[in-house]
């Protein structure tokens, strides 16, 4: 084990934890998180908002179109 490996042994399970709590797959979360989703089911959105105790507006923003 080199020094970098000894620095910490922390592994983040945030995606797995949220997936379990919201009852959605890690793959679906990843698609949402990386802005690759073209649509989202209201049931998925509801589950994520319930798990995070937030509103849809806390998760998403719409970027205005730039008019030339």
Residue 52: closest CA among 21, 28, 12: 21
Q: What is the pLDDT along the chain (68 residues), one digit of tens a residue?
A: 777 777 889 999 999 999 999 999 999 999 999 999 999 999 999 999 999 999 999 999 999 998 76
**Res 67: pLDDT:** 75
Question: What is the residue extent of each domain of the chain?
Answer: 3-58
Q: Is the separation of the CB atoms in 44 and 24 below 8 Å?
A: yes
Q: Domain spanning 3-58 has what CATH number?
A: 1.10.260
**Res 5: pLDDT:** 74
CA-to-CA separations, 3 to 6, 7, 9, 12, 48, in angstroms, rounded: 5, 6, 12, 20, 38
Separation of alpha carbons 56 and 48, rounded Å: 9
**Res 2: pLDDT:** 77
**Res 3: pLDDT:** 76
């Amino acid at each position: 084990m080199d020094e970098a490996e000894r620095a910490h042994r922390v592994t983040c399970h945030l995606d797995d934890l949220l997936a379990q709590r919201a009852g959605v797959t890690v793959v679906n979360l990843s698609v949402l998180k990386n802005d690759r989703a073209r649509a989202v089911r209201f049931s998925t959105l509801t589950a994520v908002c319930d798990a995070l105790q937030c509103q849809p507006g806390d998760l998403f923003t719409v970027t205005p179109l730039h008019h030339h």
